[in-house]
Amino acid sequence: MDAGAIGPAAGRLDVLCGDPIPPRSGAARPLTVRETFHIELLGLDDGAAAAPVQQRVSMRTSSLDGATERALRLFARARAPQRSEQRPEAVRVIDGAGREVFRWSRFDEPGG
């Protein structure tokens, strides 16, 4: 026993080593890695250096598949005939590093 230790915890290895306290039930859940993706709806490419961005949406998800699904839903909704403004020509997904990881245009649609 340590000569400087006083009280009932003196010499107990678990107290001296600082063993972690077990988490309360439901508190310990594995964390998933989430990445930020930027979805851009692109207008008509009129010969400019880059196609104009009509709308940009950022989202956090754990997979590219989730971002791709949302991009296709946004693209379909924006191309609906009820909209009065110019309809987008393409949609793209950009990852957090700025790389284009998915692109879909109106020509890729069935019957487009």
- Short-list 90, 98, 95, CA closest to 53: 90
Task: Give tens-digit pLDDT for 67-92.
Answer: 999 999 999 998 887 755 678 899 99
C-beta of residue 60 within 8 angstroms of C-beta of residue 35: yes
3-class DSSP state of 37: strand
Task: Give tens-digit pLDDT for 26-58.
Answer: 655 666 788 999 999 998 877 666 668 889 999
C-alpha 25/C-alpha 2 separation (Å) is 35
Assigned token pair, 59: 């989202």
pTM of the model: 0.65
